[in-house]
Amino acid sequence: MTQPENEVGKTAMSVAGSLAMAQPGDLAALRRMTPETGAPLFWRLAARHDEIARAPERWMQIVRMIAILTPTGAPSPARSVQDDKRPLGAVLCDGGQAGHIDQPVLSEQRLARLLAARGNTRSDALERAVRMLARRGVKLNVVDLAWAVLNPAGSARIAQSYYQRLDQAAATKTEDVTP
């Protein structure tokens, strides 16, 4: 991993840990924040992380999405949505469900539109997908989520983990049917 990749990863994981320990009101403010307003906790995070301070508009999107995914309730490390073993693409496919899946949670068509979109359209599509995942209470690799915002041209990472999970689900279904 290069130095910028390390910094993005460390920052995204630190944000997830901080939001797990945030008060409910602070999380609510992060979920509602806009680029024009920000939120007090966001600005505290920006003061702690140079990576956030260098690109606050993009990191607002990332922090808002992590806040949307973070469950409500009392602050606790268990609330963290970070899980290294759950790539964003795989979670978009299975919605956090282990084992066999009948069909992807995010259809292949919606995934293709998300990956092809740019600018505000991509941000909106990604946030809609995150809101859908939040309703399922999933954990995922927040570094993948950060890169989905910071490097929209790097969609191969999301697509690869999505289709690996889809193929794995198909193989599991075949094994279940075979006597």
Residue 125 · residue 55 · CB < 8 Å = no
For 137: left if phi > 0, alpha if psi spans -120 to 50, otherwise beta; the answer is: left
The model carries a pTM of: 0.92
In this model, does residue 169 exceed pLDDT 80?
A: no
Confidence of residue 6 (pLDDT cuts 50, 70, 90): confident
Q: What is the mean pLDDT of residues 22-37?
A: 95
- Report the C-alpha gap between 142 and 154 in whole angstroms: 15
- At 167, the amino acid letter reads D
pLDDT at site 4:
58
Confidence of residue 41 (pLDDT cuts 50, 70, 90): very high
Q: What is the mean pLDDT of residues 33-62?
A: 96
Q: What is the mean pLDDT of the chain?
A: 92
Say which residue, 100 or 128, is predicted with more confidence. Answer: 128
